[in-house]
């Protein structure tokens, strides 16, 4: 490298200028070196350090990887467990991106197509991602006259920051600097190359002096962005009759057009207003789906993996398995996962006669009755009276407790009392018992006319404590609750055990009859999603929980390295700051959802007590009837026992008489 020819110096001068000018803010630069381009990477004049990774594609093999300082053997075994066998270049690029955070890349000649094929998978496997990727591709036409195959990969269609240095030969002093068109409809081939500038190495000047990595995203000139959605209002709304309509790429849609809207779809419309793009749709999937470690996916996530869509929404939470292989926008909105649970039933219990007084008051009543009985006992036994005999202990005790019980239930007594002392005590007991029974009667009247409800499972703590099952149509609802065992408490474990997945048809039936909780999504500004299974009949027996089981922020998922993601994030923050998201939610809910149903869901959180007259039924008196029934049953058994004992006594007496 120390003795460079003039031609080599031209390469070194130009490439170092590009790297030092446009790659200097990169974390690291990956250079795929080529034997026919021996340029020397130089440090800038200001001595700023350039971090770069050396990759020699012509010397990549499993043996060379084993000699690397990184343990590629363990990495390959991990990927094999996922069902993948990435080649040596994919492995090298993956580790370079993951460990050194390469954001800029340089490739030469025949390594260009192999790099383009490997880069996308390497960036997805590496997990680490950047929004500032730049690419520099260098080739000579004398080594490959027909270079069309170099630039037919999807990278040149999807990435805007592509610069290509073309020279006719190794000793040429003029270079053509090209880039991909990127903008415009896809039918006009945005991957096509055009000359951006020319460099004369002899004069050391550029012909036009333009920015070699211009911002192409600021005006896409009608380039299509396809959104993958299914009907999930108010987040996304799909309607085949409303206007206006956009192009639908679903093969099942014969008309080929569809009307789309929704709080999260409008964010894409806002983006296209800013960067001048066209919105298309793909409605071929009807579920969220899942991303897999072998870089495949199903549902709407599969639309991104298969390159059919670039933007998918539908109340998508932060799901780590999907984020690992895709990119996410900033948060679009907030969604709380809550439940409609069975409404509380009216309490009918044999404890109804005890409910007018609290336990402490009942203890006070029984204590006062005990004092009454003791006072009557002593006054009956000890109080002097010239007209009454001296009563014994048993007679005085019988008088005390029987009179106390009769006074408590407002019944008269057949005892004859001549003692003034006993009369005064009886009068005091009568006055106190009258007050107690009056208060008790008023409390019992209130309880009989005001319905008393059981405890509803309308909070997370009560949902866990009552242990009722809760359900929805997908296991994705509890992904956010699942985690390492150390992070879960007893409540979460119990809730996960009680969660069940059923079909939409089963949910519709269960909502009418079963003692279950049914998942809803509570949006940030008061509306509810996932309500299609609800009917008028189910509303009569369900109420809304007062809190959320958990909440998540909603995001848009996009392909890894999506060029429009930075602009999308800017639009999202602008929408949040202006309050448009509040207006969008209310307008979409009013347009595409049943407003009365939304109000009924919200109102079901609160019990509707009828303060007017209530017709009494057996439910009001079951607590009073049960003691009567129990008393009658015991009385019957006691009567039968007395009859048996009487006959036994008669027979025994007759036997004694006969013997004598």
Question: Average pLDDT of each block of 10 consecutive residues along the chain (660 residues)?
Answer: 47 90 89 86 72 84 66 81 84 89 93 92 88 93 85 92 92 91 93 93 90 94 95 94 94 94 96 96 93 90 94 93 91 93 74 78 87 85 71 81 80 73 82 85 74 79 91 89 64 90 90 90 92 85 91 94 95 94 94 91 74 58 72 89 86 72
CA separation for the pair 13, 110 (Å, rounded): 22
Q: Which helix (H) or strand (E) holds 138?
A: strand 134-140
Please list the residues that pair with 179 across neighbouring strands.
Answer: 194
Closest by CA to 399, choosing from 368, 428, 422, is: 422
Cα gap 280→258, rounded to integer Å: 9
Which token pair is 330?
A: 């900033």
- pLDDT of amino acid 615: 64
CB 330 within 8 A of CB 316: no
Six token digits for residue 529: 């999603």
3-class state of residue 140 by DSSP: strand
| Angstrom distance (rounded) from CA 358 to CA 365 | 11
Q: Which residues contact 98 (CB under 8 A, 6 or more apart)?
A: 126, 127, 128
DSSP string over 441-498:
HHHHHHHHHS--BPPP--SHHHHHHHT--EEES-GGGGTTT---GGG--HHHHHHHHT
The alpha carbon of residue 93 and the mean position of all alpha carbons in its chain are separated, in whole angstroms, by 34
SS3 328: strand
β-pair partners for 327: 558
Burial label for 395, CB within 10 Å (0-12, 13-18, 19+), is middle
Counting Cα atoms < 13 Å in the Cβ hemisphere of 90 gives 14
DSSP state of 297: B
Look at residue 1 in the predicted model and tell me its pLDDT: 31
Question: End-to-end CA distance of the chain, in Å?
Answer: 143
List of residues 6+ apart from 113 with CB closer than 8 A: 149, 150, 151, 152, 153
Are 170 and 139 spatial neighbours (Cβ–Cβ below 8 Å)? no
Alpha-carbon distance 245 to 265, whole Å?
Answer: 13
**C-alpha pair distances (Å), 461 with each of 174, 211, 340, 457:** 75, 60, 15, 8
pLDDT at 113: 93
Q: In the structure encoding, which two tokens stand for residue 488, read together?
A: 């879960």
Q: How far is CA 526 from the centre of its chain?
A: 16
Predicted pLDDT of residue 555 = 95
Q: Where are the alpha helices (DSSP H) in 82-206?
A: 88-100, 111-125, 155-158
Cβ atoms of 260 and 309 closer than 8 Å: no
Write down the pLDDT at residue 138. 94
> DSSP per residue over 394-434, as a string?
HHHHHHHHHHHHHHHTT---------HHHHHHHHHHHHHHH
CA distance 325 to 121: 9
3-class DSSP assignment, residue 134? strand
Burial class of 398 by CB neighbour count within 10 A (0 to 12, 13 to 18, 19+): middle
Report d(CA 320, CA 323) in Å as an integer: 5
Domains (range + CATH), the chain: 6-206 (3.40.50), 356-449 (1.10.287)
Q: Which of 571, 94, 557 is nearest to 327 (CA)?
A: 557
> What is the β-pairing status of strands 470-472 and 517-523?
parallel
Q: How does 520-550 read in b/e, with b if 16+ C-beta sit within 10 Å?
A: bbbbbeebbbbbebbeeebbebbbbbeebbb
CA 319 to mean position of chain CA atoms: 9
Structure confidence at residue 349 (pLDDT): 61
């Amino acid at each position: 490298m120390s003795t460079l020819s003039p031609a080599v110096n031209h390469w070194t001068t130009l490439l170092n200028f590009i790297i030092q000018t446009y790659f200097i803010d990169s974390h690291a630069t990956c250079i795929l070196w080529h034997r026919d381009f021996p340029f020397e990477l130089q440090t800038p004049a200001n001595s700023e350090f350039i971090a770069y990774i050396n990759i020699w594609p012509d010397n990549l093999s499993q043996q060379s990887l084993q000699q690397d300082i990184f343990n590629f053997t363990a990495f390959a075994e991990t990927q094999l467990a996922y069902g993948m066998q990435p080649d040596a270049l994919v492995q090298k690029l993956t580790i370079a991106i993951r460990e050194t955070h390469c954001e800029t890349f340089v490739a030469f000649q025949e390594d260009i197509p192999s790099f383009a094929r490997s880069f996308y998978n390497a960036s997805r496997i590496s997990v680490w991602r950047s929004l500032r990727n730049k690419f520099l591709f260098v080739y000579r036409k004398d080594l490959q006259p027909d270079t069309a195959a170099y630039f037919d990969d999807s990278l040149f269609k999807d990435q805007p920051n592509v610069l290509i240095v073309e020279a006719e030969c190794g000793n040429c002093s003029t270079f053509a600097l090209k880039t991909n068109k990127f903008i415009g409809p896809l039918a006009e081939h945005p991957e096509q190359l055009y000359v951006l500038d020319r460099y004369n190495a002899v004069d050391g000047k550029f012909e036009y002096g333009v920015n070699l990595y211009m911002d192409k995203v600021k005006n896409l000139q009608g380039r299509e962005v396809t959104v993958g959605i299914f009907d999930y209002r108010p987040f996304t709304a799909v309607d085949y009759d409303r206007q206006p309509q956009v192009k639908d790429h679903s093969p099942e849609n014969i008309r080929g057009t569809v009307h789309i809207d929704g709080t999260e779809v409008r964010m894409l419309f806002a983006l296209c207003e800013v960067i001048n793009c066209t919105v298309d749709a793909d409605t071929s999937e009807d579920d969220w789906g899942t991303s897999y470690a072998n870089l495949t996916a199903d549902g709407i996530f599969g639309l991104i993996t298969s390159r059919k869509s670039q933007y998918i929404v539908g109340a998508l939470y932060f799901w780590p398995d999907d984020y690992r292989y895709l990119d996410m926008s900033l948060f679009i909105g907030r969604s709380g996962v809550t439940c409609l649970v069975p409404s509380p039933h009216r309490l009918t219990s044999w404890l109804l006669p005890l409910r007018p007084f609290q336990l402490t008051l009942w203890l006070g009543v029984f204590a006062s009755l005990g004092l009454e009985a003791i006072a009557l006992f002593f006054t009956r036994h000890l109080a002097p009276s010239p007209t009454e005999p001296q009563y014994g202990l048993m007679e005085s005790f019988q008088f005390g407790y029987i009179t106390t019980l009769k006074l408590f239930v407002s019944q008269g007594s057949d005892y004859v009392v001549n003692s003034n002392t006993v009369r005064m005590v009886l009068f005091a007991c009568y006055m106190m018992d009258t007050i107690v029974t009056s208060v008790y009667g008023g409390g019992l009247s209130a309880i009989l006319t005001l319905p008393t409800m059981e405890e509803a499972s309308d909070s997370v703590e009560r949902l866990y404590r009552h242990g009722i099952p809760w359900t929805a149509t997908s296991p994705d609802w509890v992904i956010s609750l699942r985690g390492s065992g150390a992070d879960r408490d007893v409540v979460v474990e119990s809730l996960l055990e009680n969660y069940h997945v059923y079909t939409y048809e089963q949910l519709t039936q269960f909502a009418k009859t079963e003692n279950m909780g049914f998942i809803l999504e509570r949006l940030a500004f008061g509306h509810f999603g996932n309500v299609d299974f609800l009917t008028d009949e189910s509303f009569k027996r369900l109420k809304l929980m007062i809190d959320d089981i958990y909440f998540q922020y909603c995001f848009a998922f996009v392909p890894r390295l999506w060029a429009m993601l930075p602009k999308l994030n800017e639009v999202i923050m602008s929408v949040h700051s202006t309050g448009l998201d509040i207006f969008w939610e209310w307008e979409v809910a009013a347009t595409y959802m049943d407003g009365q149903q939304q109000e009924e869901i919200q109102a079901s959180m609160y019990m509707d007590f009828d303060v007017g007259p209530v017709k009494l039924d057996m439910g009001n008196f079951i607590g009073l009837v049960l003691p009567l029934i129990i008393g009658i049953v015991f009385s019957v058994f006691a009567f039968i026992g007395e009859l048996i004992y009487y006959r036994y006594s008669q027979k025994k007496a007759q036997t004694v008489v006969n013997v004598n």
